[in-house]
Amino acid sequence: MAKLNRTHAADLHGVARLAFEATAGLVDVVERMHHTIQRRPWPLGKPAAGSTRGITGFVYRTVRGSVRLIGRGIDASLAPVVELMPEGAAGPRRDALLAAINGVYGDYLARTSNPLAIPMSVRYRGRPVDLADPGGALRAAGGPAPTGRLLVLVHGLCMNDLQWRRAGHDHGEALASALGCTPLYLRYNSGLHVADNGAEFAETLEKLVAAWPCPVEDLTILGHSMGGLVARSACYQGEAKQHAWTRHLRKLVFLGTPHHGSPLERGGHGLDYLMSLSPYSAPLTRLGRSRSAGIRDLRHGTIIRGKHRPVPLPAHVDCYAMGAMLGEHRGVVSERLVGDGLVPLDSALGLHKDPAHSLGFPRSHQWIGSQMGHLELLSRPEVYRQLEAWLRDGA
């Protein structure tokens, strides 16, 4: 059995804090439902304002206060213990679970300074890369000498850098071997707004390229799912700030990226609306709306702050799009609804009924996989062959 270390203690601290905060929030939901039932409103309409009173209100306030008091006590007790524990590595299962939690509640974790919140980092072979000395991480990992050709891979929602390896295959490692480039992987909190992650990613690339141990000849970014939106956001914001790294960017490749959103998030938003129509179910919308800002951005594929609006692909970069569908043949359902199970085919290819929103990938820069799911884009041989062909072209 592995010895307890600082990572385990920090996780326990973060989980305890999240659990008590969630319990207090659930008490609020139950109290609002109780208050609504007491008022006996019509089935449709706005929920009754206010909270429970008298003995009932006293009971709810006592329970809520007790939960928060105990939570603060445990939080204060665990905080100093974390610093006393020895350093230790985390395992892939823990990293995968943490990535999933961040995808769903990551903005809340960051806002409350919860230890479970994932900070953005560049990784190489699972190790963090010091942006002040990126060559040192490659040497420490026993990797080959850094090259002037950088390939940065950006994972999707609820995932992390280690999950680029699927069914024994890693696009990054395979492309590095075939093309002689250096693969680096971004790890980030996918529950934050895409625009916030994009801004930080742009700043990260600026530091990385400036400190790279040899002249950077070209930069390629490969994004899977939400990772493609984060990459587009970084390009948009990097160009706006005239970052030097944007001048090195040559190719941008998207794997199953929901450029125009995902029907699953639109369905979640619609369910929230329907539940809000009745005062009896309205309190439950608080649970649905607790999903992260990153997930909500997937309703339309929003990559900038403020009102959603179309953002074109970077003009000086060769951009490629890959989409997949569960079925064998294209059709209205597979193109606009089902797609790879999470992302419709039209959304993955940047197609839109309004020409102003279409991204305009050239036909030669589009690829469609059949009888293929969203995560299979990470491991199918035919996907890799097309990636290699696109990235080798002009290499």
Concatenating the DSSP letter of every residue in 129-190 gives: --TT-HHHHHHHTTPPPP-SEEEEEE--TT--GGGGEETTEEHHHHHHHHH-PEEEEEE--T
The answer to whether position 376 is within a domain reads yes
Cα atoms found within 13 Å of the Cα of residue 40, Cβ hemisphere only: 0
Joined together, the tokens standing for residue 375 give 């995560």
Element (DSSP H or E) covering residue 369: strand 366-370
Write down the residue that tokens 């290699």 correspond to: 388
How confident is the model over 70-80, as pLDDT tens digits? 555 555 554 55
- On whether the CB atoms of residues 370 and 329 are closer than 8 A, the answer is yes
Of the residues 89, 112, 142, the one at which a domain ends: 89
Q: How many residues does the chain have?
A: 395
Question: Of 284, 288, 295, whose CA–CA distance to 270 is shortest?
Answer: 288
From the centroid of its chain, how far is CA 318?
Answer: 24
Instruction: State mean pLDDT over 362-366.
Output: 96
Joined together, the tokens standing for residue 25 give 């929030």
Q: In the prediction, which pLDDT does 58 show?
A: 54
Question: Of 221, 216, 228, whose CA–CA distance to 254 is shortest?
Answer: 228
Q: In the prediction, which pLDDT does 143 show?
A: 83
Residue 254 lies in domain = 121-263+295-392
Q: In the prediction, which pLDDT does 1 show?
A: 44
DSSP, collapsed to helix, strand or coil, labels residue 281 as: coil
Joined together, the tokens standing for residue 174 give 């395979």
Q: What is the pTM of this model?
A: 0.80
The answer to whether position 268 is within a domain reads no
What is the CATH number for 219? 3.40.50.1820
The answer to whether position 284 is within a domain reads no
- On whether the CB atoms of residues 161 and 185 are closer than 8 A, the answer is yes
Write down the residue that tokens 């790879």 correspond to: 340
Q: Same domain for 256 and 356?
A: yes
CB atoms within 10 A of CB 260: 24
How confident is the model over 152-165, as pLDDT tens digits? 999 999 999 999 99
Q: Same domain for 64 and 161?
A: no
**364 secondary structure, DSSP code:** G
Query: If you average pLDDT over each of 29-38, 101-110, 335-344, which comes out highest?
Result: 101-110
Q: Same domain for 130 and 35?
A: no
**305 secondary structure, DSSP code:** S
Structural domain count, the chain: 2
Q: Same domain for 341 and 196?
A: yes
pLDDT at 231 over 80: yes
d(CA 258, CA 226): 7
Higher pLDDT, 84 or 126: 126
Instruction: State mean pLDDT over 205-221.
Output: 96
Strand ranges across the sheet with 149-154: 127-128, 121-124, 182-187, 149-154, 218-224, 249-255, 318-325, 366-370
The answer to whether position 115 is within a domain reads no
The answer to whether position 212 is within a domain reads yes
Query: If you average pLDDT over each of 88-102, 108-122, 142-156, which comes out highest?
Result: 142-156
Question: Of 288, 290, 308, whose CA–CA distance to 298 is shortest?
Answer: 308
Q: Same domain for 32 and 157?
A: no
From the centroid of its chain, how far is CA 362?
Answer: 27
- On whether the CB atoms of residues 313 and 251 are closer than 8 A, the answer is no
Alpha helix stretches (DSSP H) within 278-359:
285-288, 293-297, 332-333, 345-348
The answer to whether position 102 is within a domain reads no
Q: Same domain for 84 and 157?
A: no
The answer to whether position 290 is within a domain reads no
Q: In the prediction, which pLDDT does 93 show?
A: 83
d(CA 368, CA 159): 23
The answer to whether position 309 is within a domain reads yes
Q: Same domain for 81 and 133?
A: no
Distant-in-sequence, close-in-space partners of 37: CB < 8 Å, separation ≥ 6? 280
Q: Same domain for 84 and 127?
A: no
Taking the CA atoms of 63, 64, 66 and 70 in sequence, report the sign of the dihedral they define: positive
Read off the pLDDT band of 335 (50, 70, 90): low
Q: Is 32 exposed, middle or buried (0-12, 13-18, 19+ CB in 10 A)?
A: buried
